[in-house]
Amino acid sequence: MRLELTKVRQSFGEQDLFVIDQLQLISGSAVHLHGPNGAGKSTLMKIMAGLQKPTAGQVKRIADADESDLQQAVIYLHQNPYLFDTNVRKNVEYGLRLQGRKDPKKVDRVLQWAGLDHLQQRQAHLLSGGERQRLALARALVLDPALILLDEPTSNLDAGSLERIEQMLKDLHQRGTGFLLSCHQDNALTKLCNQHWRLADGSLSGVD
């Protein structure tokens, strides 16, 4: 899948937050988005995910020949992921239920991949910060997305959780899922990226 932004502008009143003439993100990409606070990184990611409309411009999702459903092609994960007030397993099952699907074996595999299989009956609100991030990734993976956009995924993570999420992103990339992550500081996750975009002073640099 290819995500294309053309002549996208985001403004608040008469003040432009950013203007991006052309931007392309393809499945299989590994991109680090950085820049100062208030530059619009979260806003840009929400626009890319289709959660927010830009002031002007177009955002298109272009399917590959073997892709038919783009509804879950791009998933945005907030730095404080929203979890449903139920147990871990039901959180992972949620997206499949919306699609009218049941696949217990797939849910089992995803929970094991995220290292949450032993916690699947635990209430999600009782998880640690690292476990919550892993659950958010698991809930995304079960839908087979082409692209995942992670907004400050390393916030308040201990070293063990960071290492686990690093391995999860490596696995996703090997499966062909692309990711774009917003991080203020270089860390183990940003080192996985082969592209580094900087959003500052209303423009995006580093884009191929």
Total domains in the fold of the chain:
1
Q: What is the CATH number of the domain that holds 149?
A: 3.40.50.300
Average of pLDDT values for 176-189?
90
Tell me, what's the pLDDT at 141?
84
Give the domain range for residue 44. 2-205
The pLDDT of residue 68 is above 80: no
- What's the pLDDT band for 184 if we cut at 50, 70, 90? confident
Percent of the chain with pLDDT over 70: 95
Contact (CB, 8 A) for 33 and 45: yes
Contacts of 83 (CB under 8 A, 6+ apart): 91, 124, 125, 127, 132, 135, 136
| Tokens of residue 176, six digits | 């062909």
The pLDDT of residue 87 is above 70: yes
The pLDDT of residue 208 is above 80: no
Residue range 5-57, pLDDT digits in tens: 999 999 998 899 999 999 999 988 999 999 999 999 999 999 999 999 999 99
The pLDDT of residue 67 is above 70: no
Residue range 156-181, pLDDT digits in tens: 677 888 888 888 889 888 888 999 99
Q: Which of 169, 174, 154, 190 is nearest to 80 (CA)?
A: 154
| Tokens of residue 91, six digits | 């959180």
Q: DSSP state, 87?
A: B
